[in-house]
Chain A
């Protein structure tokens, strides 16, 4: 069975006819030519296919494209504003947070989603008190590692990935403090 769906991908409306068996990942890569999300395992284990779906990070290999008619999808490619990279992308370059780069688009989308969740006060498994008020400032390295646990890196760039995210957390918290002080 085939179905025609419309997606907003990195800000652009796209209409595509897919077999109902097509994953969102295959629709993006093979049908819409957006090779930013990667296929590592196709079973939800590695996180290489992570995209933001209606603002939340998820695995595009574990979604049927047909189920997401009308959705807004952002891939790592769409995080940049033209030639101006997203702060997370800049920090990954500055900290050498990659070697082969295969896991990187997924890591970057995941990090962006994660910062949003933390800023919104979502707890993680290593959060001690479930009921306390929380924000970005509470993201220590343990929290970053736990919250990024869905993204594997075969090259083992983990140390630098944590450093890159830590830097963006720091600059965001500082900027918020400056704005608040004004």
Chain B
């Protein structure tokens, strides 16, 4: 049983949901898939007095074509990301990342928006959102605003979404035809990343024209491996060229030391996994 009692509300409009978030309840929490929030409540890491369930809001789930981008509703489940043709065609990296998250049962309930707002440094989606230059749409009492992924993740379990706001959608620019791969290092199938590397590249006749690399669990938030990207742009997509660039994957990182590994072990992993992710993404 969850120790602290709370009131429960399942609004059917975004206005009703926002009003509940601004109510005078002591602490309000939004519930999406519950795959992180319910364990958090059981462990007493949070004790809201009001839980606002987004599950009955219309229009928050699903993926649609938006011209140069795809628009992913915050309540779209991880499972839907793996099955949605718009995602596998225009944001292949995201479909690949979604398949590595947790297990099928969790993927049926867990939502893309929930995973981004939860912002676990070991969570797999933030690195992909960074590598795909995603843009988050957040609504609050003063209307909607847009925050680029690069400014969204502010610290451990902390994002640009404040307590009276809701993340409604994520806009992902189309990366049609880009090579991509997510190299996740974990001890058993359903576990979190010890380190993960999300890589996506645009090649032209064997040359790397654009490349973006996101790192999971290498700092208090996901980060881009900027040094690797800079070294690789304009270079031929060849294993030895990639290996040399991947040596810079740990530049500027500050990974944690925990039961799964020391910081220097993670820095070693980042280089190896970046090499593997880029070689697979380039198909060389």
The answer to whether A and B come from one shared complex is: yes
A interface residues with partner B (beta carbon < 8 Å):
1, 3, 19-23, 26, 42-45, 47, 50, 56-59, 61-64, 66-67, 110, 113-114, 117, 121-125, 127, 130-131, 145-147, 149-151
The answer to whether A67 and B34 touch (CB under 8 A), given A44-B39, A47-B105, is yes
State A149–B10 Cα separation when bound (angstroms).
32
Whether B99 lies near A62 (C-beta < 8 A) is no
Q: Which residues of B contact A (CB under 8 A)?
A: 1-2, 5-8, 10, 31, 34-35, 38-39, 41-42, 51, 53, 55, 79, 82-83, 85, 88-89, 92, 95-96, 99-100, 102-106, 108-109, 188-190
Chain B neighbourhood of A151, CB < 8 A: 103
**A22 contacts B1, C-beta separation under 8 Å:** yes
Closest A residue, CB atoms, query B190: A149
Minimum-distance CB pairs A-B, first 3: A150-B103, A149-B189, A21-B2
Residue of B nearest to A106 (CB): B105
Complex CA–CA separation, A124 to B190 (angstroms):
13
> How far apart sit A59 and B34, CA to CA, in the bound complex (Å)?
10
- On whether the beta carbons of A21 and B5 are closer than 8 Å, the reply is yes
Contacts of B189 in A (CB 8 A): 125, 145-146, 149
List of A residues within 8 angstroms of B190 by Cβ: 45, 149-150
Given A62-B106, A67-B53, A149-B190; 14 other pairs, CB 8 A cutoff = A21-B1, A43-B42, A47-B103, A56-B108, A59-B105, A62-B38, A62-B39, A63-B38, A64-B51, A67-B31, A67-B55, A123-B83, A147-B104, A150-B190
Nearest CB to that of B103 among chain A residues? A150
